[in-house]
Amino acid sequence: MKILALIGSPRKGGNTDILVDKILEGCNEKGFSSEKLYLYDFSISACNDCRLCKSENYECAIKDDMQQIYFSMVEADIIIFGTPVYWYGPTGQMKLLIDRMRPFIASRKMQGKKAFLVVPSEEGAKACKALLEMFRMSFDYLGMEFIGSILSKAYERGEVWGNKEDLRKAYELGKSL
């Protein structure tokens, strides 16, 4: 079982990172292999709607850092999408990644993979409605199984350390995957 965590926050050691680490801690105890990628470390160009991914071996024509991320995504059994709420949606870097998932529509390479969401925000769960629905519909479109989410209320860097319940939930989730 391979777990891939995609961190869509620019803050290393921030709330998204902390919650995802708790999940991975649980996973690693079970002996699963995991990989964590900070999306802000990668140069991801915007999808330009060239539509070559609908033919051309169903591959993206843009040869940038996304090629490495595609590889990790295809290898993974479970993908954790971690992003703080930015204006009631995901961060810009996470949205770039989602747009670049277009080749997976034709290739069906995400089919059957499990997806989990980790989302901290200042306002908490009530601020996540639109974001949650966007991910839920996108996972559905790609044939992925949406297995759950952790929506935490946290604002300052590391504030989520004070939320023992969500940290425990994240750890338990990792153990149960």
Ligand X SMILES: Cc1cc2nc3c(=O)[nH]c(=O)nc-3n(C[C@H](O)[C@H](O)[C@H](O)COP(=O)(O)O)c2cc1C
Instruction: Name the segment binding ligand X (CB under 6 A); options: 30-38, 98-106, 115-123, 141-149.
Output: 115-123
SS (HEC) of the chain: CEEEEEECCCCCCCHHHHHHHHHHHHHHHCCCEEEEEEHHHCCCCCCCCCCHHHCHHHCCCCCCCHHHHHHHHHHCCEEEEECCCECCECCHHHHHHHHCCCHHHHHCCCCCCEEEEEEEECCCHHHCHHHHHHHHHHHHHHCCEEEEEEEEECCCCCHHHHCHHHHHHHHHHHHHC
Rounded to an integer, what is the distance from CA 157 to the centroid of its chain?
A: 19
- Beta carbon nearer to ligand X, 15 or 34: 15
Contact letters for ligand X, residues 5-44 (x by CB under 6 A)? ----x-x--xxx----------------------------
**Does 123 sit near ligand X (CB under 6 A)?**
yes
User: Could you give the C-alpha distances from 118 to 81, 85, 174, in angstroms and in order?
Assistant: 6, 10, 12
Answer for the pair 173, 116: CB distance below 8 angstroms, yes or no.
Answer: yes
Cα–Cα distance measured from residue 131 to residue 148, given in angstroms and rounded to the nearest whole number? 13
Instruction: Name the segment binding ligand X (CB under 6 A); options: 56-64, 120-128, 134-142, 161-169.
Output: 120-128
- Beta carbon nearer to ligand X, 80 or 110: 80
- Using Cβ positions, the residue closest to ligand X within the complex turns out to be 14
- Beta carbon nearer to ligand X, 25 or 145: 25
Kindly state the smallest distance separating residue 152's Cβ from ligand X, in Å. Answer: 8
Kindly state the smallest distance separating residue 164's Cβ from ligand X, in Å. Answer: 17
**Does 155 sit near ligand X (CB under 6 A)?**
yes
**Does 127 sit near ligand X (CB under 6 A)?**
yes
Instruction: Name the segment binding ligand X (CB under 6 A); options: 32-40, 55-63, 80-88, 169-177.
Output: 80-88
**Does 84 sit near ligand X (CB under 6 A)?**
yes
Site of interaction with ligand X (CB under 6 A): 9, 11, 14-16, 84-88, 120-123, 127, 154-155, 157
